[in-house]
Amino acid sequence: MRARRRHLSMLGALCALLLLPTYAHAHGHLVRARPGPGDTIRVAPRTLRLQFSEAPELAMSSIRLVDVQGRDIRLLPLRIDADSARVLIADIPELLAPGRYTVRWQMAGRDGHPMHGQYDFVLAADTARAVGPAVPSPIATTPAPAPIVRDSLPAQTHLAEGFDSESSTYVIVRWVHFIGLLVVIGGVAFYWLVLGRVHQADLTDSVMQESAVRARSVALMGAFLLAVATIARLFAQWAALRANADDPAAMSLHVMVLGSGWGHAWLL
C-alpha cells in the first residue's frame, strides 16, 4: 500500500510539472536589424527595423536612438511590420547627421519576459540624403546602397545594464511562483488520487482524517505561496519594464496589464 501511495504521489507531481509553462530558452532576443550592429552606412536611414526571435508585445516594447552626445533622437510611435509580427519599426522623422548612433531596445513576448540590449552603427560623413518622408508603410525602403542586414549579431551587440527577466530577483520570483503552483497541484492530486484510492483499504478513520488534514494544509500553504508570488511577479514584471523603458512614466501598471497578452494571462 505504501508503494502504491508513493507511485501515485510521484505521478501527481509529474503531472504538475508537465502543466508548468515551459519558459526555459523561450526568451526573445534580437535576430537582425537594419541598420545593423557595427554597420557603417552612407544613406541616412528613415526607419529602424528590429527583428526578434518571437513576436514582441507592442505595449511592452520600446526603441531609443541616441547620438554620440547622449541626446535622444525623436522617433515616431513604434509599430509592428505588416508582413512580420516579429519586426518592430521605428520611423525617424528627421534627417540624421553623420556620426555614431546607439540603438537601445527593449521587448517582451507573450511570455512576458522583458529583454533589452543596445548596439551601435555609424552614419558616414559622405552621407547621401534619404529619399521620401518617414511615414508608416508596410515595408520601409531606402535607396541603394542599402544598410547591411546581418543574420547573426556580432560582438558589438550587448545587453545594457538593468533589471530584466535574467536578473536574479526576477528569476527567484518566477521559480517561487512555479513551486507554489506545483505544491497546490501536488496537494490536490494527493488528496484525490492517493486518499481516494486508499479509502477502499482497511485503514482506520483516524489515519484517513490525519492524511486529509495534512493534504489540505499543504495545498493551502501552496495556495498562499502562489498568491504572494503572483503579486510579486506582477511588480517584478513592471519594474523590469520600467527599468529600461525610454519613458518609464508611460509604462504604467494599467498599460502593462490591460494592453498586453501577458497582462491578460495574469488576470486569468
**Rounded to 5°, angle at Cα 165 from 160 and 166:** 70
Block residue for cell numbers 552612407: 42
Please answer whether residues 85 and 123 qualify as being in contact, where contact means their C-beta atoms are separated by less than 8 angstroms: no
Low-confidence ranges of the chain (pLDDT < 70): 1-27, 127-166, 195-205, 207-208, 242-268
What would the DSSP string read from start to end of 237-252?
HHHHHHHH-SSGGG--
pLDDT digits (tens, 9 = 90+) for 127-185: 655 544 444 444 444 443 444 344 444 434 444 455 666 678 878 888 888 888 888 88
Residue 268 is predicted with a pLDDT of 61
Please answer whether residues 113 and 27 qualify as being in contact, where contact means their C-beta atoms are separated by less than 8 angstroms: yes
Residue 79 is predicted with a pLDDT of 96
**What are the helix (H) ranges across 64-125?**
none
Q: What are the Cα distances from residue 132, in Å, to 33, 142, 207? A: 21, 8, 80
pTM for the model stands at: 0.59
How many residues are recorded in the chain?
268
Residue 74 is predicted with a pLDDT of 95
How far apart, in whole angstroms, are the C-alpha atoms of residue 211 and residue 5?
12
Residue 27 is predicted with a pLDDT of 64
